Amino acid sequence: MRTIGVLTSGGDAPGMNAAVRAVVRYGIYHNLNIIGIKAGYKGLIENTMEDMTLSSVADIIHRGGTILGTARCEEFKDDEGFKKALNNIKYRGIEGIIVIGGDGSFRGAQQLSRAGISAVGIPGTIDNDLPYTEYTLGFYTALNTVLESVGKIRDTSSSHGRTNVIEVMGRNCGDIALYSGLAGGAELVVVPEEQFDMQEICEKIMQGRARGKRHSIVILAEGAGNAKELSEQIENITGITTKYSVLGYIQRGGTPTAYDRILGSKMGAKAVEVLMSGKSSRVIGIRGGSIFDMDIEEALLTEKEFDKESYELTKILSI
């Protein structure tokens, strides 16, 4: 293995830069050539790549987003686009590729592996929706960003004696909602993994009011419904003024937390090691504090287990 390409793909996530930095610096330390591929799979198709040096990744460990750029690239899924990408990989002499992204990006890496290119995936998505790993890069930073907003909305919720619905990202995964609800002391959390009972939600809000509670925070995962509709329903049933906020893209940006920087650094180095050892078709993960690698096919077949215990605990603590 002489030349490794690295790309970031799908939704950007804080910590991706730490991973890119680690791939570049760990690779160069081991005398490899590292090629930075721009805007995910689009860069492979359009041949927009550059040789990375030690200084290409200077001053980025603390930055959100990704210096390589990212994209959602439908063309890569077509035969024609995929062939262009393979030709450019060969033309550039890339022998191994490190893909930093989420589930979709890993499916792209899987296709590359099946076509004979050594590929390794690093989980980078705020959604935390890759079942084989406990955490994905960016998840904890996004949680902290959500918590900042929850605290601020709680201030105004208490002042006015309102209910506030806060819609958070996560695609079909409720982890951002669940853990920001637990950490933010939300009265209710609505996630796609669990059925919710509107009557039960409203009774809980009204019981809180009867006990003198001034605020009610409902955290809604985007995959479980719509904040406007939910707040209208709650207001109609409870008679309490209910406002909503959709947090949106602020959840994707910002300086990565210490955890995401450490995770990115360790996973970046591990991905290079895996390629140097001759392995292919792998993904990097973390479980019980240990970084590991496993087969990409197996990883993508793993089913996500919802953390029911934390969900129940959130309900109990928010009485």
How is residue 135 annotated by DSSP? -
10 Å CB burial of residue 55 (0-12, 13-18, 19+) is exposed
26 contributes a contact to ligand ADP by CB under 6 A = no
What is d(CA 14, CA 142) in angstroms, rounded to the nearest whole number?
8
Site residues for ligand F6P, window 55-114 (CB under 6 A)? 72, 102
Q: Where are the alpha helices (DSSP H) in the chain?
A: 16-29, 41-46, 79-91, 103-114, 139-160, 175-184, 198-210, 227-238, 258-276, 296-301, 308-317
98 contributes a contact to ligand ADP by CB under 6 A = no
Stretch that binds ligand ADP, among 23-31, 68-76, 152-160, 207-215 (CB under 6 A): 68-76
- Rounded to a whole number of angstroms, the minimum distance from the CB of residue 191 to ligand ADP is 19
Q: Which does 123 bind (CB under 5 to 8 A by kind): ligand ADP, ligand F6P, none?
A: none
171 contributes a contact to ligand F6P by CB under 6 A = yes
Q: Which does 169 bind (CB under 5 to 8 A by kind): ligand F6P, ligand ADP, none?
A: ligand F6P
Task: Say which amino acid occupies 138.
Answer: G
Q: Which does 107 bind (CB under 5 to 8 A by kind): ligand F6P, ligand ADP, none?
A: ligand ADP
Task: Say which amino acid occupies 103.
Answer: D
CA angle 226, 185, 252 (to 5 degrees): 55
Contact 165, 230 (CB under 8 A): yes
Q: Which does 214 bind (CB under 5 to 8 A by kind): ligand F6P, ligand ADP, none?
A: none
127 is catalytic: yes
Active-site pick, 127, 175, 260, 293 = 127
Q: Which residues bind ligand F6P (CB under 6 A)?
A: 11, 72, 102, 125-127, 169-171, 222, 252
Active site residues: 127
